[in-house]
Structure 1
Amino acid sequence: MKIHLHCVNWNSIEFIDYFFRHYDGFVSRYFVNDDGSTDGSLEYLSRRPDVTLAAKPRLDSESYVLESLHSHLTSWKRSAGLADWVIVVDMDEHIYHPDLPLYLERVTREGVTAIPALGFQMLSRKMPDKNVRLTDEIRVGAPWKQMSKLVMFRPDAVLDPGFAIGRHTAEPKGDIRYPDRDELLLLHYKYIGFDALKLRHAQAQARRRKADLQNGWGHRYAFDEQKLEEDFSAFEARSLDVSGMRDPHLQHEEPRWWR
């Protein structure tokens, strides 16, 4: 089964090894739109023969969020007629199933064409070693509807994924058939390494433009240290061991836009 992954990169060097270590086992081709990275990640990506690298398209827009959304809405089209499935994620988003190849074979037989994933905000006060697999090392996270996203679909069945801002919801068009039960997880590894998180937020806050600020897009980037600590602690208070979930469909209690 051929799987392509599409994402945007901006100064993701601290996550990039984790990202490829997770996805290399089942992704055959990566399509990455780079947003002017200056941290060495662009050079890293250019050395990989399985990466098709391009500059992120620029729009006449006062929003970097809308520009990223445009990439997510269009990049996957390069896989039409070439891949069985496409994955659309950010560099800090890891999709997870205990046996993903077997799961995809099953849902393909069942006629599924679009797979939303149940979202978790994964948590660690410290940055893990660079040589680990994040899904093995950091297994504690909080269920979070904002991270429950459409992450996989069949490019020859979907006409438009219909992502909303941040891909937090979607209204896909085409031959859309969801699984009967939700088994796929989206593990969001942004809240790892509290000190590093403060720096990442400060850098991202500096990139927000007029429309981002007016609409509150990326509002967490503006948190000061106290507000960020409160946010982190609130996630910790309702976190659980994701690896211990026997039935995510029943145990993930946050609302789901596709149900």
Structure 2
Amino acid sequence: MKISAYILCFNESLMIRHTLNYYSKFCTEITVLNNNSTDDSIKIITNEYPDVKIKNFGEPNLYREDIQTDIKNNCWKESDADYVIVCDMDEFLYAENLPEKLKLLEEQKPAICSVIGYEMFSKKFPKDYKISLLDQVKYGVRNYRFDKTIIFSPKKVKNINFDYGAHSCDPEFYASGNQDILFEFKLLHFKYLSKKYLYKKHLKYMKRMSKINIVNRWGAEYTEGKKHIDKKFELAKKHLFKIIP
């Protein structure tokens, strides 16, 4: 079974090795959708992951959610893969028995899969790239906003029609009867990996906010600065539980 991953990237030099190491284990090909990164993200791919493709998009120093959504809605359309994964750099499609799950997926061939979302938390950013991120960050909280349809079959889905932020979609199918959702995966959102890491990341996003983002409040959490991050970590203390065995 061929699985192609399309992963959005802007200045992910700290995260990118974790993500590419993970998806390289079961994806046939990976394309990084580079939104004008200015750090070492592309250098890391070129030097360490020569089989990973890079596709550049967007305008320099400008964050526009509408452009990112359009990329996610169309980047996979010429793929000949059995399934595509369209995600951000900090999103991991996960199952406890992933190899077995993928084998069943190949046998049953649903058009799209149900995905149950979780936000993962860590006090320190895990910088040991020789160890799987799943072995370093195991606790998180349930978040329904991340029940995102990030895996589907391009052979059965004509248009995925992600809404802004890709938190919801309205898929169109090539034929009737393909809408059955027979599978359930987890989506682990590894965003909250230390406050220090996020303070810097959100500040960079805030400086790149476009007028259209501000007017529509796309990415509003970035404009809240440290307040949003501190609140998320404080709330997580009350609800954290072990997600990865």
Deviation at 1:181, TM superposition (A): 5.4
Residue in structure 1 matched with residue 25 of structure 2 by the alignment: 25
Q: Secondary structure at 1:50's aligned position in 2?
A: coil
Residue in structure 1 matched with residue 117 of structure 2 by the alignment: 119
- C-alpha contact (below 8 Å) 1:111/1:177 kept by paired residues: no
Between the aligned partners of 1:13 and 1:63, the Cα distance in structure 2 is 18
Between the aligned partners of 2:212 and 2:150, the Cα distance in structure 1 is 26
For these two proteins, the number of residue pairs brought into alignment is: 238
Residue in structure 1 matched with residue 10 of structure 2 by the alignment: 10
Tell me: CA distance 1:178–1:201, structure 2 relative to 1, closer, same or farther (3 Å): farther
Q: Secondary structure at 1:14's aligned position in 2?
A: coil
Between the aligned partners of 2:227 and 2:68, the Cα distance in structure 1 is 29
Between the aligned partners of 2:24 and 2:104, the Cα distance in structure 1 is 21
Deviation at 1:238, TM superposition (A): 1.7
The aligned amino acid for 2:199 is: K
Tell me: CA distance 1:101–1:227, structure 2 relative to 1, closer, same or farther (3 Å): closer
Q: Does residue 239 of structure 1 match 2:231? A: no
- C-alpha contact (below 8 Å) 2:202/2:225 kept by paired residues: no
Deviation at 1:69, TM superposition (A): 0.7
Deviation at 1:63, TM superposition (A): 6.1
Question: TM-score normalised to the size of structure 1?
Answer: 0.86
- C-alpha contact (below 8 Å) 2:14/2:127 kept by paired residues: no
Deviations 1:102-147 (A, max 9, x none): 2122133234111131111100111113322111111111110111
Between the aligned partners of 1:236 and 1:188, the Cα distance in structure 2 is 17
Tell me: CA distance 1:29–1:181, structure 2 relative to 1, closer, same or farther (3 Å): closer
Query: Within 5 A, what are the aligned runs for 1:7-156?
Result: 7-47=7-47, 48-57=49-58, 64-79=64-79, 82-131=80-129, 132-156=131-155
Q: Which runs of 5+ in 1 are unaligned?
A: 245-259
Question: TM-score normalised to the size of structure 2?
Answer: 0.90
Deviations 1:58-83 (A, max 9, x none): 6xxx961111111111111131xx21
Deviation at 1:50, TM superposition (A): 1.8
Between the aligned partners of 1:211 and 1:178, the Cα distance in structure 2 is 36
Tell me: CA distance 1:8–1:179, structure 2 relative to 1, closer, same or farther (3 Å): same
The aligned amino acid for 2:19 is: F
Q: Secondary structure at 1:122's aligned position in 2?
A: strand
The aligned amino acid for 1:107 is: L
Q: Which runs of 5+ in 2 are unaligned?
A: none
Residue in structure 1 matched with residue 216 of structure 2 by the alignment: 215
Percent of pairs with identical residues: 26
Residue in structure 2 matched with residue 177 of structure 1 by the alignment: 179
Q: Secondary structure at 2:205's aligned position in 1?
A: helix
Q: Secondary structure at 1:185's aligned position in 2?
A: strand
